[in-house]
């Protein structure tokens, strides 16, 4: 089985953590015998110009590689062009969040670009032979009239060999964090407006005023191998996003048995529901602070890893291979 994966998110020397979950999926597919060719469109370097000539480029790769299936990861202009260009073999499109949900934050240019991307995603969804969505809210955001029998709900997998419990004190020591304080990890760059760093900051300020000694850390620009250290150094991971699909950082934190406090966004409720030490909160500093306090008063580790076994990257790769096979047949 041969697959061509077209993506605008993939690790580079300059941005080694970008699209690491796509690279992990590629590697997991190769390990179970799927031959994979990757077409990476570096949007960060080339901007929107990266999509010029995309149809010709993908057509040439298909002619040279002769894949059984073409997989666009993820939606937007890229997926629209790929699904329009490739008509002689199945095209699978994965949607992960903003590509279907859009969003009203940011400046006028950013909002306009995002709205156009959602429009392009919807066009791609109507043309694709198959669709993968990462969460239920993305399934519900698909255009009406889409044949739901060709839609699969499949979150990104977690590499349990990388994301596992490590000694918290050792991890804090490597990062130079004060062991006398409690550490709250915001698992995204603070400039990502949809992640709402200011809300997380207000919550920790409110918590610190009541309980003291809490410190907020923002996770950005890390080497991929350092992410498990940051997660394990944290006493709790805090997610305050206005929109998400299936946030990888939450699944990775759970695989490390690290407590999670989150607003009710994406599939987080499904991931942490009923799990002692994890909490859903209203999107207010007061309720987030209250839930953070409860998490920090807990026993320090949760039992999240066993639940993440169902999303082990090997299992997800096998399910994706089965989707490929269904589309090819």
Measured distance CA(94)–CA(21) in Å, rounded: 13
Q: Are 66 and 209 in a shared domain? A: no
Residue 50 lies in a domain: yes
Q: Are 31 and 68 in a shared domain? A: yes
Residue 103 lies in a domain: yes
Q: Are 19 and 148 in a shared domain? A: yes
Q: Are 212 and 116 in a shared domain? A: no
Asked if 47 and 12 touch (Cβ cutoff 8 Å), the reply is no
State the first-to-last Cα distance of the chain, in angstroms, to the nearest integer. 12
Per-residue pLDDT of the chain (329 residues; tens, 9 = 90+): 999 999 998 888 777 777 888 999 999 999 999 999 999 998 777 777 888 889 999 999 999 999 999 999 999 999 999 999 999 999 999 998 888 988 777 778 777 888 888 999 999 999 999 999 999 999 999 999 899 999 999 999 999 999 999 999 999 999 999 999 999 999 999 998 899 999 999 999 998 765 558 899 999 878 778 999 999 999 999 999 999 999 999 999 999 999 999 999 999 999 999 999 999 999 999 999 999 999 999 878 999 999 999 999 999 999 999 999 999 99
Residue 122 lies in a domain: yes
Can you give the pLDDT at residue 178? 93
Residue 162 lies in a domain: no
Measured distance CA(38)–CA(51) in Å, rounded: 16
Instruction: Tell me which residue has tokens 């006493």.
Output: 235
Q: Are 50 and 150 in a shared domain? A: yes
| Number of domains making up the chain | 2
Residue 163 lies in a domain: no
Q: Are 85 and 131 in a shared domain? A: yes
> How many helices, marked H, and strands, marked E, lie in the chain?
15, 11
Residue 203 lies in a domain: yes
Asked if 13 and 218 touch (Cβ cutoff 8 Å), the reply is no
pLDDT single digits (tens) 102-112: 877 777 877 78
Q: Are 305 and 317 in a shared domain? A: no
Q: Are 98 and 140 in a shared domain? A: yes
Can you give the pLDDT at residue 212? 54
* Paired tokens of 191: 């400039």
Q: Are 92 and 184 in a shared domain? A: no
Can you give the pLDDT at residue 328? 95
Q: Are 99 and 9 in a shared domain? A: yes
pLDDT single digits (tens) 185-224: 999 999 988 999 999 999 999 987 655 588 999 998 787 7
Q: Are 182 and 87 in a shared domain? A: no
- Biggest alpha carbon–alpha carbon distance for the chain: 64
Residues near 138 by beta carbon (within 8 Å), at least 6 away in sequence: 95, 96, 97, 100, 101, 245
Measured distance CA(142)–CA(46) in Å, rounded: 29
The pTM is what?
A: 0.90
Instruction: Tell me which residue has tokens 């589309």.
Output: 327
Measured distance CA(132)–CA(138) in Å, rounded: 9
Can you give the pLDDT at residue 111? 79
Residue 161 lies in a domain: no
Can you give the pLDDT at residue 13? 78
Can you give the pLDDT at residue 234? 97
Residue 261 lies in a domain: yes
CATH of the domain at 68: 3.40.50.2000
Q: Are 224 and 247 in a shared domain? A: yes
Can you give the pLDDT at residue 209? 60
What residues make up the domain containing 101? 2-156+312-328
């Amino acid at each position: 089985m041969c697959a061509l994966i077209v993506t605008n998110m993939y690790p580079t020397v300059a941005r080694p953590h970008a699209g690491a979950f796509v690279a992990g999926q590629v590697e997991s597919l190769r390990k179970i015998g799927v031959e994979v060719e990757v077409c990476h469109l570096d949007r960060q370097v080339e901007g929107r110009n990266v999509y010029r000539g995309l149809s010709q480029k993908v057509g040439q790769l298909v002619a040279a590689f002769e894949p059984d299936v073409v997989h666009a990861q993820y939606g937007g202009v890229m997926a629209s062009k790929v699904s329009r260009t490739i008509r002689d073999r199945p095209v699978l499109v994965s949607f992960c969040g903003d590509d279907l949900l859009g969003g009203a934050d940011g400046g006028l240019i950013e909002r306009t670009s995002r709205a156009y991307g959602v429009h392009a995603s919807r066009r791609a969804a109507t043309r694709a032979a198959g669709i993968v969505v990462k969460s239920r809210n993305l399934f519900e955001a698909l255009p009406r009239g889409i044949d739901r029998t060709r839609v699969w709900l499949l979150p990104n997998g977690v590499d349990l060999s990388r994301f596992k419990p490590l000694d918290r004190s050792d991890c804090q020591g490597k990062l130079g964090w004060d062991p006398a304080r409690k550490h709250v990890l915001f698992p995204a760059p603070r400039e990502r407006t949809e992640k709402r760093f200011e809300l997380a900051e207000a919550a920790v300020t409110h918590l610190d005023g009541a309980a003291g000694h809490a410190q907020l850390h923002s996770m950005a620009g890390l080497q991929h191998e350092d992410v498990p250290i940051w997660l394990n150094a944290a006493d709790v991971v805090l997610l305050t996003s206005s929109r998400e699909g299936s946030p990888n950082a939450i699944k990775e934190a759970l695989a490390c048995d690290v407590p999670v406090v989150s607003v009710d966004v994406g599939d987080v409720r499904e991931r942490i529901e009923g799990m002692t030490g994890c909490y859903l909160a209203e999107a207010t500093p007061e309720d987030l602070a209250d839930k953070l306090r409860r998490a920090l008063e807990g026993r320090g580790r949760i039992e999240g890893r066993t639940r993440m076994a169902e999303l082990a990257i090997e299992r997800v790769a096998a399910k994706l291979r089965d989707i490929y096979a269904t589309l090819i047949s």
